[in-house]
Structure 1
Amino acid sequence: MKHNHYGHRERTRQLFLQAGPAGLPDHMLLEILLYSAIPQRDTNDLAHQLLNTFGSVKGVLEADVQLLQQVPGVGYNTAVMLKTVLALFSRYMRDGQDSSRVLNTSEKIGQYMLPVFLGKTDEEVYLLCFDDRFSLLKCECIGGGSHNAVQVNRQKIAERAVVAKSNLVAIAHNHPGGVAMPSDEDIHATLEIYKTLRDLNIQLFDHIIVAGDDFVSLRDSNLFVGL
């Protein structure tokens, strides 16, 4: 037996297919998405409530699982689904970049890292390992922290670069909710990492700091003379 919301849901899906995403308001797109996690309840009101609570689609997708579950009607499965959508979008944006993955400028590295940090609420550090022609060999998270601090293990960075057989690396970390400007601690940590890698004949090409849709290169900013 079909649920009594079936007709409305099918009409909404058809409207989406005919009008495209640009033809539907945010709450309706979110309503359709919620169908997958909530099969037998009206999701229109919930979509409105989520947008009112978090301010925008961006706010909904970037909200913590715990915060999402504080909205009446949002269970664990729904919250995880919303976070999965953001993760998939991040992969989509990353995969849509230059397929050759030649990141031979600070600008290219920064653009590559923007979707990696999309929606992150805690600071994380990534290591990018390149071959001699700046083709990306590996990009991996090597450390995490709190909303405004992260621990960087210089030895781990060196070990991962050696394992990747890379003599050319870059690091990147984020400032969630902040600005893409390096702190004194960021600059000091970069210098220490540079020295550790230099002793192993590994070049630290740059340190990228990301905040939202903005990023700063320590190399291009002349904030780290050794780079």
Structure 2
Amino acid sequence: MPDSPIKSDPHHAGHRQRLRARFLKSKGDALADYELIELLLFAAMPRRDVKPIAKALLKRFGSFAGVLNADPNELQKTDGIGEVAAVSLLAVRQAAVRLLQDNVMNQPVLGNWQSLMDYCRVSMGHNKTEQFRVLFLNRKNVLIADELQQEGTIDHTPVYPREVIKRALDLGASALILVHNHPSGDPTPSQADIDMTRELQGAGVKLGIQLHDHVVVSRSGNTSFKTLGLL
């Protein structure tokens, strides 16, 4: 769907000016979700009234997070949203991921656990397919690498423990944290998750590589194997 044609309208220009002023005054805290989406759409649609489009996006995707995590093709099914507008929205999500990543990379993660979980949920929690990430730590539990190992279907990701351990050895990592997402929204570990985790833990022990935790994230929350007593 092409982006909406530019139409000159002084009323909309005044609304945009007022919204920008409110944003600057409150640093965004006073704005409703649809108003923040309006701001994100201003550059993509220079003179169109974007309020109805912002409200339509929220209705279609359910929440502010749902809009930013939507597939670009799905975004463009909303009247008025073209490629330029879709990219504007998705770029904000990627910016948020990178900001959160900066808070955890090259930092001791065990004492910064909430920041790590925030990063994992934002980067993976809303994905439509399963992803399996491995966080590699050194002897001081500093995060030295964050790598996507596998990506699968909506309910399955093949994981090969030998490959994970081999990569840990290549990086000189002495500990691991496993993270994967459940697109269903239910972060409860499956039996397959438990079996794979125990197999990987056993392989790591033989080579002096500790598995600190395995976390399942989803749009509704996260679950820790360690907290559940599974590690």
Same fold (TM over 0.5): yes
Summarize the Cα distance change of 1:22–1:201 in structure 2 as closer, same or farther, 3 Å threshold. Answer: closer
Instruction: State the alpha-carbon separation in 2 of the partners of residues 124 and 171 from structure 1.
Output: 11
Match of 2:229 among 209, 218, 222: 222
Instruction: State the alpha-carbon separation in 2 of the partners of residues 153 and 36 from structure 1.
Output: 45
Instruction: State the alpha-carbon separation in 1 of the partners of residues 26 and 225 from structure 2.
Output: 45
Residue identity matched to 2:83: Y
> Displacement, 1:160?
1.7
Residue 65 of structure 1 is matched in structure 2 by 72
Residue 141 of structure 1 is matched in structure 2 by 148
Summarize the Cα distance change of 1:201–1:25 in structure 2 as closer, same or farther, 3 Å threshold. Answer: closer
Match of 1:192 among 199, 202, 223: 199
Match of 2:139 among 122, 132, 135: 132
**Deviations along 1:118-161, whole A, 9 cap, x unmatched?**
43222111111111121111111111112221111223212221
**Deviations along 1:47-84, whole A, 9 cap, x unmatched?**
12112222221221122222111111111222222122
Residue 108 of structure 2 is matched in structure 1 by 102
Residue 22 of structure 1 is matched in structure 2 by 29
**Normalising to structure 1: TM-score of the pair?**
0.85
Q: How many residues align structurally?
A: 222
> Displacement, 1:187?
0.6
Contact 1:101 1:135 in 2 (8 A): yes
Instruction: State the alpha-carbon separation in 2 of the partners of residues 150 and 15 from structure 1.
Output: 45
In the alignment, structure 2 segments of 5+ residues that lack a partner are 1-6
Residue identity matched to 1:162: L
Alignment pair present for 1:91 and 2:98: yes
Instruction: State the alpha-carbon separation in 1 of the partners of residues 212 and 157 from structure 2.
Output: 21
SS at match of 1:207: strand
**Normalising to structure 2: TM-score of the pair?**
0.84
Residue 4 of structure 2 is matched in structure 1 by none
Instruction: State the alpha-carbon separation in 1 of the partners of residues 66 and 202 from structure 2.
Output: 40
Q: Which moved more, 1:16-25 or 1:58-67?
A: 16-25
Identity of aligned residues (%): 31
Contact 2:126 2:218 in 1 (8 A): no
Alignment pair present for 1:211 and 2:218: yes
Residue 34 of structure 1 is matched in structure 2 by 41
Residue identity matched to 2:148: C
**RMSD of equivalent CA atoms:** 2.5
Alignment pair present for 1:48 and 2:48: no
Contact 1:106 1:206 in 2 (8 A): no
Q: Which moved more, 1:36-45 or 1:182-191?
A: 36-45
Residue identity matched to 1:103: V
Alignment pair present for 1:158 and 2:165: yes
Contact 2:186 2:220 in 1 (8 A): no
Residue 80 of structure 1 is matched in structure 2 by 87
Contact 1:103 1:135 in 2 (8 A): yes
Q: Which moved more, 1:209-218 or 1:139-148?
A: 209-218
Residue identity matched to 1:210: V
